Amino acid sequence: MEMAAVDAVALRVWPRTEKSAAREALAELRAVGACVTFAAGDLSEPFSVKASDLLKPANREEAELLEQLDLRRLPQHVAIIMDGNGRWAQRRHLPRVAGHRAGVKAARQVIESCARLRLPCLTLYAFSLENWRRPLAEVDFLMRLLREYLKREMPSIHKNNIRFLVIGRSAQLPDAVRNDLADAMRLTARNTGMKLVVALNYGGRAELADAFNAMLDHVRQNGLTAFRADEQSISDYLYTAGLPDPDLLIRTSGEMRVSNFLLWQIAYAEIYVTEDLWPDFSRAHLLRALVDFQKRERRYGGLGATRGRSATSARAATAGGRADAARD
């Protein structure tokens, strides 16, 4: 049967609908890659999906955290500064590269868990513009590790309907890495599930400079003498154009810095810092961060009671450069 492409289907489950029929319909929608979301309050028990239906808890702590997690209030975009690979290795008297290998394992588990929870977007800071200052052998190792990761994981990323994206000055990466990244993006280009964004050769200030230059080029080429930038037009020229801004920024290894990461986009993000080093960041750590996020009161510069007034609508009120009202 030929299927028409649709953007959204509204499915209302009536209280007397058979539970198994409702579950079957949801499973079929998910199997064809539909992103199933629930309108708050629309689905009453026993049909609502619980976090533990999507992610099987491996231990009691995970089970308790999953119990606390409200799938209707998950962040739209989680961004992670993965820090502490070197220290993790050092504490074990291992070479730094062993920490990076262990870091890949942690990344794999976090990616899988976020995709299972149907998070719309996850961004991982894998290599900054400043990371070129590391010894050549370590940089070479990181590039090889990335290629190894892409080769090994891309089939399962694709099978799980995840879309792979890269942000950063990727033109300056070695040719072999660029080719593998391009293949991964091409392979997953039509996937409709979670967007997995890897920041490579990335710097937040460089991103802003690139955005302003691209905007200036556009203005000059089209003779737009009356053009004025606003928050939306700046966002549209960033590497992350079209993605929601991160609402949760996680950083491991206890450092209280944003390290030139997504400077524009994290304006309203909740920040979660854990002392644990990245290779130790497990599924339970991720769930802790998500549960903590759901306990925060997000004010966007207002006076609380944010229900019914989203970040987007709050930001819309400040569009056109009137930034004064938006400060916390």
Which residues are near ligand FPP by CB under 6 A?
82-87, 100, 103-104, 107, 124, 126-127, 131, 142, 145-146, 149, 198
Under 8 Å between Cβ of 250 and 272: yes
- Neighbouring CB atoms inside 10 A of 274's CB total 18
Residue with smaller CB distance to ligand FPP, 127 or 239: 127
**Closest CB 185 distance from ligand FPP, rounded Å:** 14
**Closest CB 144 distance from ligand FPP, rounded Å:** 11
Q: Two tokens at 74?
A: 């998950």
Q: Are strands 77-81 and 248-251 parallel, antiparallel or unpaired?
A: parallel
Residue with smaller CB distance to ligand FPP, 148 or 230: 148
Annotated catalytic residue within 7, 42, 70, 83 = 83
Annotated catalytic residue within 53, 59, 70, 131 = 131
Residue with smaller CB distance to ligand FPP, 9 or 256: 256
Residue with smaller CB distance to ligand FPP, 85 or 161: 85
Which residue's entry shows tokens 């820090």?
Answer: 83
**Closest CB 299 distance from ligand FPP, rounded Å:** 32
Q: Is 83 a catalytic residue?
A: yes
Q: Where are the beta strands (DSSP E) in 208-322?
A: 248-251, 270-273
Name residue 244's amino acid: P
**Closest CB 30 distance from ligand FPP, rounded Å:** 25
**Closest CB 160 distance from ligand FPP, rounded Å:** 15
Q: Are strands 270-273 and 248-251 parallel, antiparallel or unpaired?
A: parallel
Rounded CA gap, 308 and 316, in Å?
A: 14
The residues facing 199 across adjacent strands are 125, 167
> Which whole-number Å values give the CA distances from 103 to 78, 100, 275, 278, in the listed order?
18, 5, 15, 6
Residue with smaller CB distance to ligand FPP, 111 or 211: 111
Under 8 Å between Cβ of 17 and 23: no
How many Å is the maximal CA-CA distance in the chain? Answer: 65
**Closest CB 178 distance from ligand FPP, rounded Å:** 16
The residue at minimum Cβ distance from ligand FPP is 86
Residue with smaller CB distance to ligand FPP, 105 or 190: 105
Q: Two tokens at 33?
A: 């890659």
DSSP 278-307: GGG--HHHHHHHHHHHHHSPP-TTS-S--T
Phi then psi dihedrals of residue 221, to 5 deg: -60, -30
Q: What is the CA radius of gyration of the chain?
A: 21
Q: Is 42 a catalytic residue?
A: no
Q: Active-site residues: which are they?
A: 83, 131
